[in-house]
């Protein structure tokens, strides 16, 4: 086994550990010492680069688990990058995927690090033609992102409902000559923000603002429609509308329930 | 219902339906993105087979953009899809990778050759070539790479000619 270490040029809190060759039981002691030195230097995030690893013995796997535990206790983590398909499959069969995260490259590992530890929001922007038929695809796309990012099924369903209501309103009540509407989502580990921009006729936009600010629904008891925004208010944490000459922007914030 | 039909016809009159998505350079976004593009292709009147193939194309191009065309964690990838005249025009733009990445991309697009059986990678763009009607690369001034794919509707659902040719040359 060969092992070398370097501080990441991307973030100095991350240490990159390059492993090469067979990771045997006889390598555990030397590796443990290196892990301890890294922890003593107050660096708690390790990316284990294993592109050139040819074998991982059971004792060595135990050593990696021990190191991960020590890092987690300090609020850090260790992830494995670049392990070849066969070795990864063997480790997964032994349940290692319940302990370690495996990533294909360092770029993806850094993304995970930012998501988990620096709370950096990720932004997705979508523009679409003002067609009501395309809204289901958009709402499923955004709910799919929330699920993929670890939000619960309940949160994702509520996000889907919010997107559906707001995007439908933007199209249905928007200026019929608008070329497109734009949807932007900012998602981080704790909250989800949705911004929908469109071109709206001024009287419609003011009506929207009135409904939101006066805390009233547009629907009367016998009406079959007009409860969308009331529903959105119920399942989100905040809703703001800004209107100017360029159009209307609705911004909705929803906190993650299990955060 | 009235406003629904009004808005639908208005957008139809405006011409080609254009969608775009800009997303962080993160592999986790790919499954929902490819399903999204397949779903809008279905909305635009394309067959299930077309949409499934579109999903494969999107998966391959965006994975390449993220793995080989992203310089740091703040990079993003933009996908644009336009549907008109029975064809889908798809483009995927990334922020540009290394010179080697670009050379590999050009070779894969302009002289495609499936890798040998023992290789685990390198089939993505060959598959995209098989499933699309046209593919080309544009390079932006700031090093961005844009891959354009045109996929036309296949009314009789036969295998496209290009697919047969690639198999023949492989044999």
At B112 the pLDDT is 72
CB contact B26 to A (< 8 Å): yes
CB contact A89 to B (< 8 Å): no
Mean pLDDT by 10 residues, chain B (171 residues): 38 61 94 96 92 95 90 89 92 85 79 72 82 88 88 67 48 42
Which among B32, B43, B67 is the nearest to A148, CB-wise?
A: B32
Residue A104 near residue B67 (C-beta atoms within 8 A): yes
Rounded CA-CA distance A81/B7 in Å is: 49
DSSP state of A227: -
3-state secondary structure of A243: strand
| Contact at CB, B29 and A145, closer than 8 angstroms | yes
| Contact at CB, A141 and B32, closer than 8 angstroms | yes
CB contact B98 to A (< 8 Å): no
At A77 the pLDDT is 94
Between B159 and A121, the higher pLDDT residue: A121
| Contact at CB, B66 and A107, closer than 8 angstroms | yes
3-state secondary structure of A49: strand
Rounded CA-CA distance A73/A95 in Å is: 21
| Contact at CB, A140 and B72, closer than 8 angstroms | no
At B8 the pLDDT is 36
Average pLDDT score over chain A = 89
| Positive/negative CA dihedral, A123, A129, A131, A133 | negative
In the A/B pair of chains, how many CB contacts fall below 8 A? Answer: 105
At A116 the pLDDT is 85
**What is the β-pairing status of strands B76-84 and B87-94?**
antiparallel
Domains of chain B (ranges plus CATH)?
18-170 (3.30.565.10)
Residue range A122-255 in CATH 3.20.190.10: no
Rounded CA-CA distance A22/A28 in Å is: 12
DSSP state of B115: P
Residue B30 near residue B62 (C-beta atoms within 8 A): yes
Structure tokens at B145: 């790479």
Residue A181 near residue A165 (C-beta atoms within 8 A): no
Structure tokens at B68: 């080989």
At A53 the pLDDT is 95
Rounded CA-CA distance A142/B36 in Å is: 9
Residue whose C-alpha is closest to residue A65's, from A43, A83, A80? A80
Residues in Cβ contact with A92 at an 8 Å cutoff, skipping those fewer than 6 apart: A102
Q: Quick count: other Cβ atoms within 10 Å of Cβ B29?
A: 23
Residue A144 near residue B32 (C-beta atoms within 8 A): yes
Rounded CA-CA distance B161/B125 in Å is: 17
The pLDDT confidence band at residue A177, using thresholds 50, 70 and 90, is: confident
**What is the β-pairing status of strands A191-198 and A45-56?**
unpaired
| Partners of residue B35 in chain A, C-beta under 8 Å | 140-141, 144
Ranges A58-67, A158-167, A194-203: which has the least confidence: A194-203
| Partners of residue A127 in chain B, C-beta under 8 Å | 18-20
CB contact B163 to A (< 8 Å): no
At A225 the pLDDT is 62
CB contact B28 to A (< 8 Å): yes
CB contact B109 to A (< 8 Å): no
Question: Å from B161 to nearest chain A CA?
Answer: 31
Q: To which residue do tokens 């770029």 refer?
A: A107
Rounded CA-CA distance A99/A117 in Å is: 18
pTM of the model: 0.81
Mutate to test the interface with B, among A137, A150, A198, A199 (most CBs of B within 10 A): A137
At A221 the pLDDT is 61
What phi and psi values does residue A152 have, to the nearest 5 degrees? Answer: -70, 165
pLDDT mean over A234-252: 89
So what CATH class is A2-118? alpha beta
CB contact A126 to B (< 8 Å): yes
Domain with CATH 3.30.750.24 in chain A: 2-118
CB contact B4 to A (< 8 Å): yes
The pLDDT confidence band at residue A223, using thresholds 50, 70 and 90, is: low
| Contact at CB, B66 and A173, closer than 8 angstroms | no
Interface of A with B in 176-195 (CB under 8 A): 176-177, 179-180
Domain with CATH 3.30.565.10 in chain A: 122-255
At A217 the pLDDT is 54
CB contact B29 to A (< 8 Å): yes
Residue A47 near residue A15 (C-beta atoms within 8 A): yes
If 0-12 CB within 10 Å is exposed, 13-18 middle and 19+ buried, where does residue B144 land?
A: middle
CA terminus-to-terminus distance, chain A: 41
Q: Quick count: other Cβ atoms within 10 Å of Cβ A4?
A: 11
Reported ipTM: 0.82
At B14 the pLDDT is 39
| Partners of residue A137 in chain B, C-beta under 8 Å | 36, 39-40, 43
The pLDDT confidence band at residue A201, using thresholds 50, 70 and 90, is: confident
Residue whose C-alpha is closest to residue A71's, from A49, A103, A46? A46
């Amino acid at each position: 086994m060969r092992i070398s270490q370097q501080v990441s040029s991307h973030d100095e809190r991350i240490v990159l550990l390059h492993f090469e060759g067979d990771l045997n039981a006889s390598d555990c002691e030397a590796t443990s010492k290196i892990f301890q030195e890294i922890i003593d230097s107050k660096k708690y995030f390790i990316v284990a680069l294993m592109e050139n690893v040819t074998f991982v013995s059971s004792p060595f796997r135990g050593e990696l688990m021990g190191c991960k535990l020590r890092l987690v206790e300090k609020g850090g983590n260790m992830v494995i990058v670049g392990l070849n398909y066969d070795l990864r499959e063997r480790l997964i069969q032994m349940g290692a995927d319940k302990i370690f995260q495996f990533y294909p490259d360092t770029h993806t590992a850094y993304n995970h690090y930012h998501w988990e530890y620096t709370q950096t929001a990720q932004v997705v922007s979508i523009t679409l033609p003002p067609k009501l038929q395309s809204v289901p695809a958009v709402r499923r796309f955004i709910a799919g992102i929330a699920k993929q990012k670890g939000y619960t099924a309940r949160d994702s369903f509520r996000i889907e409902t919010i997107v559906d209501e707001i995007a439908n309103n933007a199209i249905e009540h928007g200026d019929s000559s608008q070329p497109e509407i734009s949807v932007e989502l900012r998602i981080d580990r704790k909250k989800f923000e949705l911004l929908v921009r469109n071109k709206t006729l001024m009287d419609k936009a003011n009506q929207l603002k009135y409904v939101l600010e006066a805390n009233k629904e547009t629907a009367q008891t016998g009406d079959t429609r007009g409860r969308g925004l009331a529903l959105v208010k119920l399942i989100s944490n905040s809703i703001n509308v800004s209107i100017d000459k360029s159009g209307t922007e609705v911004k909705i914030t929803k906190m993650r329930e299990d955060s | 219902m009235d406003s629904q039909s009004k808005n639908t016809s208005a957008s139809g009159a405006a011409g080609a339906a254009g969608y775009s998505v800009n997303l962080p350079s993160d592999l986790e976004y790919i499954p929902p993105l490819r399903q999204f593009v397949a779903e809008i292709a279905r909305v635009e009147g394309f067959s299930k087979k077309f949409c499934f193939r579109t999903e494969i194309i999107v998966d391959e191009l965006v994975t390449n953009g993220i793995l080989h065309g992203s310089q740091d964690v703040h990079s993003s990838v933009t996908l644009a899809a336009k549907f008109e005249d029975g064809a889908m025009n798809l483009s995927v733009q990334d922020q540009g990778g290394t010179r080697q990445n670009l050379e590999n991309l050009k070779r894969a697009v302009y002289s495609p050759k499936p890798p040998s059986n023992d290789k685990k990678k390198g089939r993505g763009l060959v598959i995209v070539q098989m499933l699309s009607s046209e593919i080309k690369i544009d390079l932006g001034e700031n090093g961005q790479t844009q891959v354009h794919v045109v996929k036309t509707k296949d009314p009789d659902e036969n295998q496209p000619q290009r697919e047969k040719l690639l198999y023949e040359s492989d044999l």
